[in-house]
Amino acid sequence: MTPAGRAISPPDPADETDGRRRRSHDSRARIVAAMLTLIREGETSPGAEQVAACAQVGLRTVFRHFRDMDSLYREISQAIEAELRAVVAQPFNAADWRGRVLELVARRGPPFERIAPFRRAADVHRRRSALLAGDHDRLSKALREILRGLIPADAGVDPVDFEILDLLLSFESWSRLRHDQQLSIDQTREVLEAAVRHTLARSTTA
Same domain, 99 and 54: no
The pLDDT of residue 122 is: 73
Contact 167, 76 (CB under 8 A): no
The pLDDT of residue 206 is: 45
| Domain assignment of residue 83, yes or no | no
Both ends of the chain: CA-CA distance in Å?
82
Same domain, 97 and 61: no
| Domain assignment of residue 4, yes or no | no
Contact 168, 193 (CB under 8 A): no
CA distance 105 to 170: 9
| Domain assignment of residue 17, yes or no | yes
| Domain assignment of residue 81, yes or no | no
Same domain, 62 and 94: no
Residue type, 88: V
Residue type, 184: S
The pLDDT of residue 4 is: 55
Number of domains in the chain: 2
The pLDDT of residue 178 is: 96
Q: What is the pLDDT of residues 155-201, one digit of tens each?
A: 889 999 999 999 999 999 999 999 999 999 999 999 999 999 999 99
| Domain assignment of residue 23, yes or no | yes
Q: What is the pLDDT of residues 45-74, one digit of tens each?
A: 788 899 999 999 988 898 888 887 778 877
Nearest alpha carbon to residue 172 among 122, 99, 98: 122
Maximum mean pLDDT: which of 67-76, 79-88, 130-139, 152-161: 152-161
Q: Average pLDDT for residues 113-117, to the nearest whole number?
A: 84
CA distance 118 to 77: 8
Is the predicted pLDDT of residue 141 greater than 80, yes or no?
A: yes
Q: Is 46 left (phi over 0), alpha (psi -120 to 50) or beta?
A: beta
N residues, the chain? 206
Same domain, 53 and 97: no
Domain of 57? 12-66
Q: Average pLDDT for residues 5-16, to the nearest whole number?
A: 56
Q: Average pLDDT for residues 99-113, to the nearest whole number?
A: 92
Same domain, 58 and 160: no
Check which CATH number belongs to the domain holding 23 and give it. 1.10.10
For 111-157, give the DSSP string. Answer: HHHHHHHHHHHHHHHHTT-HHHHHHHHHHHHHHHHHHHHHS-TTS--
The pLDDT of residue 148 is: 94
Same domain, 161 and 201: yes
